[in-house]
């Protein structure tokens, strides 16, 4: 359910060893990633119906010393979304829904429901605020929630933007879609998926997760947040719904791909709609369809999705030109040495290298580099700063080191330290208006942003803001040091803040602003504006 962060991993492995077979190379890669087998990972590589490689390694249950096997089930998080999307398409195929139906047809009192279509929900362009982004979410997620109660809460969240104006990953949309599957079909979400997908595909170890009726041979979820491996926050999966409440195995997910892409579960013309990039109101495209990311990996068309919730990470990739499936499932998060989509890309290189384009540096006019320099806003408010030093161009993401990027032609660049690419898109005036970043199966459109102008504060003016605040249970410190101003949330690094007015400040490392209250003599609160959210903090 959690969106993957755009980061440049600091852990590298020796990918290939001279003279090894592909299976030996994969064994070596797994051993490098999990030398102590402290948690579990299961992987599968297949071409058509033929499974080329499959293996499970490590502990499914560390406390009981139970090792994972190929029937071990993992919660798959947002890989669930493609099942929800195909369930909606199945209802379209049955004549019970239309993709251009307004949401108000099914939930009469949904605010602005007449503006939002099923298509908007499927493609993450509805603009409805995501319930998993709310500050109190993680404090509630371990206890059950009634579906009707959560739908009412989603109604109350409002909109970040008008439908079709932007793309933003949205769990509210897919929770609503899961609800609509039940409302329109007259069946439970689980029964509908079982009847139309799990049984026809022979997926005997896949289902909707129930905390009070756990599947046999399941992997426990572990946290890598601290030095010691600990049990992860255990979601009550009623909170996930159609956005991420399924469990499965690597072999069942391969069966799903084979039946689905062969046209055995849904009409191929409808499936093609699911794998078409969404077009926004301004005519631009975003590389997401209905429940899948749609793009390329080194010249190969790729249809894929990852999943992540506390204790579990997953990646399911399909290359239609090769009829190839790669699955990676892990029972630990944050990713540590196993980043499922990046790991799957390594497997792609091992088994299908001859089909891949190579990133090769080409000669370019270095004078063009000045066009690319500036700041670009990534999802979540992360900023990439592009800078030039003579004949060298660099990209630096918030909180990370600066790495050189190398030209491959047509305004395209790549990193050598990690498998990632960025393309700068020029408008009709020949100016860069956004960068498209591709990494680990995730593609992000990052608009270019202008530098904000800071103003000077009167001497002593910042004293009324300094102090400690509480933001939804998190301590926040605000202070001045040598005429510079800082904010630090508990457990996070400090960030410098810059005044844009007497009481409003901005960050240069993130797209975020802070506005202090007007109370005298000391401000008693401030509001953080970030990622479309407004979060209040009060002085302690």
- pTM > 0.75: yes or no: yes
Which of 22-36, 109-123, 314-328 is predicted least confidently?
22-36
Cα-Cα-Cα-Cα torsion 346, 395, 4, 317, nearest 10 degrees, comes to -30
Residue 1 DSSP class: -
pLDDT of residue 532: 74
pLDDT of residue 18: 46
Domains in the chain with CATH codes: 22-355 (3.40.710.10), 366-449 (2.40.128.50), 461-539 (2.40.128.50)
pLDDT of residue 523: 95
Counting residues of the chain whose pLDDT is more than 90, the rounded percentage is 77
pLDDT of residue 2: 34
pLDDT of residue 257: 99
Judge whether residue 444 has pLDDT over 90. Answer: no
- In terms of phi and psi (left: phi > 0; alpha: psi -120 to 50; beta: otherwise), the region of 124 is left
Adjacency order of strands within the sheet including 74-75: 74-75, 246-248, 207-208
Judge whether residue 98 has pLDDT over 90. Answer: yes
Determine contact, residues 427/441, Cβ cutoff 8 Å: no
Q: Mean pLDDT over residues 326-333, rounded?
A: 96
Q: Mean pLDDT over residues 400-412, rounded?
A: 92
* For the ranges 186-190, 333-337, 396-400, 434-438, the one whose mean pLDDT is highest: 186-190
Per-residue pLDDT band at 293 (split at 50, 70, 90):
very high
- Give 417 or 465, the one with higher predicted confidence: 465
Which of 2-16, 296-310, 366-380, 396-410 is predicted least confidently?
2-16
Cis peptide before 455 (omega within 30 of 0): no
Q: Mean pLDDT over residues 268-275, rounded?
A: 97
Contacts of 13 (CB under 8 A, 6+ apart): 29, 32, 33, 337, 346
């Amino acid at each position: 359910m959690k969106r993957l962060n755009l980061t440049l991993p600091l852990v590298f492995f020796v990918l290939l060893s001279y003279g090894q077979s592909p299976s030996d190379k994969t064994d070596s890669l797994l051993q490098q990633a999990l030398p102590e087998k402290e948690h579990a990972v299961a992987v599968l590589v297949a071409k058509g119906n033929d499974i080329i490689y499959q293996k499970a390694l490590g502990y499914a249950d560390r406390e009981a010393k139970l090792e994972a096997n190929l029937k071990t089930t993992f919660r798959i998080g947002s890989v669930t979304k493609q099942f929800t999307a195909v369930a909606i398409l199945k209802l379209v195929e049955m004549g019970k829904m239309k993709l251009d139906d307004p949401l108000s047809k099914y939930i009469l009192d949904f605010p602005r429901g007449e503006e939002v279509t099923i298509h908007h929900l499927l493609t993450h362009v509805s603009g409805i605020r995501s319930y998993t982004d709310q500050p109190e979410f993680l404090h509630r997620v371990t206890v059950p929630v009634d579906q009707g109660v959560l739908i009412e809460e989603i109604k109350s969240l409002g909109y970040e933007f008008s439908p079709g104006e932007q793309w933003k990953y949205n769990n509210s949309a897919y929770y609503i879609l899961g609800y609509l599957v039940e409302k329109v079909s007259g069946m439970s979400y689980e029964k509908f998926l079982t009847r139309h997908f799990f049984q026809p595909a022979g997926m005997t170890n896949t289902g909707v997760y129930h905390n009070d009726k756990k599947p046999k041979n399941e992997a426990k979820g572990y946290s890598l947040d601290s030095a010691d491996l600990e049990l992860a926050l255990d979601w009550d999966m009623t909170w996930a719904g159609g956005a991420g409440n399924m469990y499965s195995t690597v072999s069942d997910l391969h069966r799903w791909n084979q039946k689905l892409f062969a046209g055995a579960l849904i009409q191929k013309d409808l499936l093609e709609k699911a794998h078409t990039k969404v077009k926004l109101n301004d005519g631009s495209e975003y590389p997401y369809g209905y429940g899948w990311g749609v793009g390329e990996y080194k010249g190969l068309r790729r249809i894929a999705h990852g999943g992540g919730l506390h204790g579990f990470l997953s990646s399911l990739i399909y290359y239609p030109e090769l009829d190839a499936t790669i699955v990676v499932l892990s029972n630990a998060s944050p990713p540590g040495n196993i980043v499922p989509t990046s790991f799957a890309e390594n497997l792609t290189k091992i088994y299908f290298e001859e089909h891949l384009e190579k990133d090769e540096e080409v000669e370019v006019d270095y004078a063009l580099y000045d066009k690319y320099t500036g700041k670009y806003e990534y999802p979540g408010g992360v900023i990439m700063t592009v800078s030039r030093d003579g004949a060298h161009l660099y990209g630096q993401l918030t909180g990370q080191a600066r790495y050189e990027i190398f030209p491959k032609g047509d305004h395209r660049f790549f990193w050598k330290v990690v498998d990632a690419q960025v393309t700068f898109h020029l408008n009709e005036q020949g100016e860069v208006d956004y960068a498209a970043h591709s990494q680990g199966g995730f593609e992000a459109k990052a608009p270019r942003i202008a530098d904000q102008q800071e103003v000077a504060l009167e001497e002593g003016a910042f004293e009324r803001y300094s102090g400690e605040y509480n933001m939804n249970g998190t301590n926040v410190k605000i202070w001045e040091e040598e005429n510079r101003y800082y904010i630090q949330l508990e457990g996070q690094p400090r960030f410098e803040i810059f005044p844009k007015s007497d009481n409003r400040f901005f960050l240069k490392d993130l797209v975020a602003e802070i506005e202090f209250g007007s109370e005298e003599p000391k401000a008693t609160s401030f509001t953080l504006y970030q990622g479309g959210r407004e979060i209040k903090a009060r002085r302690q």
